């Protein structure tokens, strides 16, 4: 028997998961996403990727500011879903909602729980130079990402993959695993295993202050941060008083003082080894290859970035 589902999600990561559910035999009775926001200087109203997908596929969308308002709880209760599936929604479900009876609450989390509970598991796994990550399907409880786990699936993290690409891979894996979870719930074969609290690590939300490059660390860690924070907020440094955002770089075995430009192909020394910038974006300009950048900008070997 097809299940009645309410889906809650917001960014691009959530879209393949909603799409897979939409194409399944199950019924999506409502889609929740973050409210539209004013974007950039023009203050144009921008809706979320999930909102866009829902509109294109004629799914009903709700985007309340708060989920614990009495009228919102009443709506959810009266909708009588079998399952509420959350995938990067961006809001914590209130206890009042989780206390509604006859509803299963499932979260699609982009890490191998209990590792990297929290808001930025994909970025933190790249920054930490992890060898693997994955998707966990867990029961939602009031404590952040601490519920028992129903399903897990792991993948390797390739050395130079960035957040954008890894997120795309994980969202597709999440879609596959979500369908498996829903089918187990439908057959009443779902089983949840408690997380090992001794193994817990937290993936704190990315602070914009972290995006400035620290040259007093190893080159591989600088590269990891560049990859983890691409495309937003990005990793950057100052050169000649102007902010430069690094789009793509590689590690090279060259030595120098941390922050020193040691080659005119835009190679900058780190604590151990160096990074060679391949693509960057100067403040106020479009992103460009280094060869293009060098046509209009002069580098001085031995000078420093900060």
Fold of domain 4-203: Rossmann fold (3.40.50)
At 160-188, the pLDDT tens digits run 899 999 999 999 999 999 999 999 999 99
- Residue 57 scores a pLDDT above 80: yes
Handedness of CA 217, 219, 221, 225 (dihedral sign): positive
When pLDDT is cut at 50, 70 and 90, the band that residue 159 belongs to is confident
Q: At what angle do helices 15-23 and 163-186 cross, to 10 degrees?
A: 30
> What does the alpha-carbon distance between residue 45 and residue 210 come to, in Å, rounded to a whole number?
28
Q: For residue 299, what pLDDT is reported?
A: 96
Fold of domain 210-296: 3.10.25
Tokens of 157: 């993290």
**Where are the domains positioned within the chain?**
4-203, 210-296
Cβ(4)–Cβ(80) below 8 Å: yes
The 10 Å CB-count burial string (b at 16+, else e) for 243-263 is ebbbbbbebbebebebbbbbb
CA atoms in the 13 A half-sphere facing the CB of 268: 27
The rounded Cα 280 to chain-centroid distance in angstroms is 22
Mean pLDDT across the stretch 51-56? 98
Tokens of 181: 């979870």
- Residue 43 scores a pLDDT above 80: no
> What does the alpha-carbon distance between residue 141 and residue 75 come to, in Å, rounded to a whole number?
21
At 195-248, the pLDDT tens digits run 999 999 999 999 999 999 999 999 999 999 999 999 999 999 999 999 999 999
> What does the alpha-carbon distance between residue 295 and residue 289 come to, in Å, rounded to a whole number?
10
Q: For residue 23, what pLDDT is reported?
A: 97
At 183-210, the pLDDT tens digits run 999 999 999 999 999 999 999 999 999 9
- Residue 41 scores a pLDDT above 90: no
Q: What are the Cα distances from residue 211, in Å, to 145, 151, 232, 295?
A: 25, 33, 9, 27
Mean pLDDT across the stretch 53-65? 97
């Amino acid at each position: 028997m097809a299940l009645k589902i309410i889906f809650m999600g917001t960014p691009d990561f959530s879209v393949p998961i909603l799409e897979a559910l939409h194409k399944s035999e199950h019924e999506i009775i409502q889609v929740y996403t973050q409210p539209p926001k004013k974007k950039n200087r023009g203050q144009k109203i921008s809706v979320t990727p999930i909102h866009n997908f829902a509109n294109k596929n004629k799914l009903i969308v709700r985007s309340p500011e708060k989920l614990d308002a009495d009228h919102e709880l009443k709506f959810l209760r009266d909708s009588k879903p079998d399952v509420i599936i959350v995938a990067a929604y961006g809001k914590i479900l209130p206890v009042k909602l989780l206390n509604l009876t006859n509803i299963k609450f499932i979260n699609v989390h982009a890490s191998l729980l209990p590792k990297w509970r929290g808001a930025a598991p994909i970025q933190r796994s790249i920054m930490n130079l992890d060898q693997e990550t994955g998707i966990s399907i867990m029961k939602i409880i009031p404590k952040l990402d601490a519920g028992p786990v129903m399903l897990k699936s792991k993948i390797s993290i390739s050395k130079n993959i960035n957040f954008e690409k890894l997120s795309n891979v994980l969202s597709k894996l999440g879609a596959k695993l979500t369908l498996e979870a829903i089918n187990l719930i439908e057959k009443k074969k779902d089983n949840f295993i408690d997380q090992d609290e001794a193994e817990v690590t937290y993936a704190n939300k990315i602070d914009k202050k972290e995006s400035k490059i620290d040259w007093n660390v190893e080159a591989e860690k600088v590269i990891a941060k560049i990859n983890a924070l691409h495309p937003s907020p990005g990793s950057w440094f100052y050169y000649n008083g102007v902010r430069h955002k690094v789009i793509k770089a590689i590690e090279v075995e060259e030595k120098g003082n941390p922050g020193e430009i040691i080659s005119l192909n835009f190679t900058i020394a780190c604590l151990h080894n160096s990074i060679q910038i391949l693509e960057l974006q100067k403040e106020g300009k479009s992103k460009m290859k280094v060869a293009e950048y060098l046509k209009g900008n002069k580098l001085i070997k031995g000078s420093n970035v900060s």
